[in-house]
Structure 1
């Protein structure tokens, strides 16, 4: 915990520095002071090959970020975390000419009684 998943439509791939984006978003989340143990933050970025945005014609794409955390943070803290992610993504997401690009960021609380995490021995 926490887990960050970033999904993006494949039509945004050109110029999208994926590894650098993950590194920067991890750094900004750790810098927030809300991640007690930095190795607990697990992030991934996932391209979407099959997607539909609305029903209209024209080039469209999106990036959807979800940060899954255990319960205990107030709304202001959650909003600050989503804003940190949003700042990084606004600076990193390509904006191809003529394409509508949407960004969404949310926090989802995990169910603590059913969540299991352990570090496996070598």
Structure 2
């Protein structure tokens, strides 16, 4: 915990500094939500196709989901969500002719969530 998933348009490959984004987000999750840095895990999932409305050209999408163990209040989750959006603004380069649609959510992991680490 936390489990972070970043779904994004594959067309952002050259314009999204994913490693820097993940490092900055991990730091923010530690500072805002009291997570442990070694527990922060981020997976990036590029989507080959993106359609917004009825258009497939000129748009890119990024959606970040942060799953935390229950116990954080709504203000903490909202602050973390706003921080995620700010980090996306800094780590996804603008491209002429492309509209970036960015979103984020912070949610509680299900009570059944379990994990293990194997060296």
Q: With the length of structure 1 as denominator, give the TM-score of the two structures.
A: 0.86
Residues 32 and 76 of structure 2 are in contact (CA less than 8 Å); yes or no, is this contact kept in structure 1?
Answer: no
Q: Secondary structure at the match of 1:32?
A: helix
Q: What is the aligned partner in structure 1 of residue 63 from structure 2?
A: 64
Q: Structure 2 unaligned runs (5+)?
A: none
Residues 9 and 47 of structure 1 are in contact (CA less than 8 Å); yes or no, is this contact kept in structure 2?
Answer: yes
Supply the RMSD in Å over aligned alpha carbons. 1.6
Between the aligned partners of 1:104 and 1:87, the Cα distance in structure 2 is 11
Between the aligned partners of 2:110 and 2:15, the Cα distance in structure 1 is 37
Between the aligned partners of 2:18 and 2:108, the Cα distance in structure 1 is 25
Q: Secondary structure at the match of 2:101?
A: strand
Between the aligned partners of 1:31 and 1:6, the Cα distance in structure 2 is 20
Q: With the length of structure 2 as denominator, give the TM-score of the two structures.
A: 0.88
Q: What is the aligned partner in structure 1 of residue 40 from structure 2?
A: 41
Residues 12 and 95 of structure 1 are in contact (CA less than 8 Å); yes or no, is this contact kept in structure 2?
Answer: no
Residues 32 and 80 of structure 2 are in contact (CA less than 8 Å); yes or no, is this contact kept in structure 1?
Answer: yes
Deviation at 1:7, TM superposition (A): 1.3
Q: Which has the larger radius of gyration?
A: 1
Q: Secondary structure at the match of 2:43?
A: strand
Deviation at 1:33, TM superposition (A): 4.9
Q: What is the aligned partner in structure 1 of residue 52 from structure 2?
A: 53
Q: Structure 1 unaligned runs (5+)?
A: none
Residues 1:86 and 2:78 aligned together = no
